[in-house]
Amino acid sequence: EDCKEKMYDALRSSNFSTEINECYLDLPAFCTTSIYVEEEEPEKKGFNGLLFRALAPAEYAIELGKDGKVVCLFREIPMTAQAIWDRWGAEAGEKVKKTVTENPFEKFTVFHGVFPKAWFGGKHKTQLPFASYYVIEEGKKKLQEGGYHEFPFMTIPWLRGTGENYGRGPGF
């Protein structure tokens, strides 16, 4: 009972309602939708809350595992120089650093990939089951390497045909 209340509190105090609404709007039109969940940036010791992000339909590509569940997602994220610098600092490189002072709203493309650690020979720093990489297109520079205990994307098809990764439905 206590666990259930803590989970409800975490969802109520997050942005879940607004982000899932975006998914509900995308699902009938595009027949597949995805939402990303992660813990809020650490401000204090312990749990800091949940952060959800609905993904735009053209932003990501998925791959299914042997059980038919999504196990891999690559996404393309347009981000301002300032947002990149705020998140990764000097890891972003000189071009982003210079752009932050000249035009902080200039956009760059960041790629994020999450996939099973066992892929590519399992040669990743993470000891977690899912590897995660953020790479900035400018200079093909790795911004962050990490991992997840569980796959952080919930991807929902309207209906899926045999052998298909993406959904079918009213919009397709």
Q: Give the tens place of pLDDT for each residue, 57-83.
A: 999 999 999 988 999 999 999 999 999
> What's CA 159's distance to the chain center, in Å?
22
Please tell me the predicted confidence (pLDDT) of residue 40. Answer: 81
Please tell me whether residue 14 adopts helix, strand or coil conformation.
coil
Please tell me the predicted confidence (pLDDT) of residue 119. Answer: 86
pLDDT tier at 172, thresholds 50, 70, 90: low
CA distance 37 to 43: 17
Q: Which two tokens stand for residue 126?
A: 């993470």
CA distance 156 to 91: 34
Sheet containing 141-148: give its strands across: 60-64, 70-80, 107-116, 130-136, 141-148
Q: Is residue 110 a contact partner of residue 93, using CB atoms and an 8 Å limit?
A: no
Span 94-145, pLDDT tens digits:
999 999 999 999 999 999 999 999 887 777 788 899 999 999 998 899 999 9
Span 1-51, pLDDT tens digits:
888 998 888 899 899 999 999 999 999 999 999 999 998 877 777 778 899
CA distance 117 to 119: 5
Q: Is residue 137 a contact partner of residue 112, using CB atoms and an 8 Å limit?
A: no
Q: Which two tokens stand for residue 51?
A: 């952060």
Please tell me the predicted confidence (pLDDT) of residue 42. Answer: 72
Record the pTM. 0.87
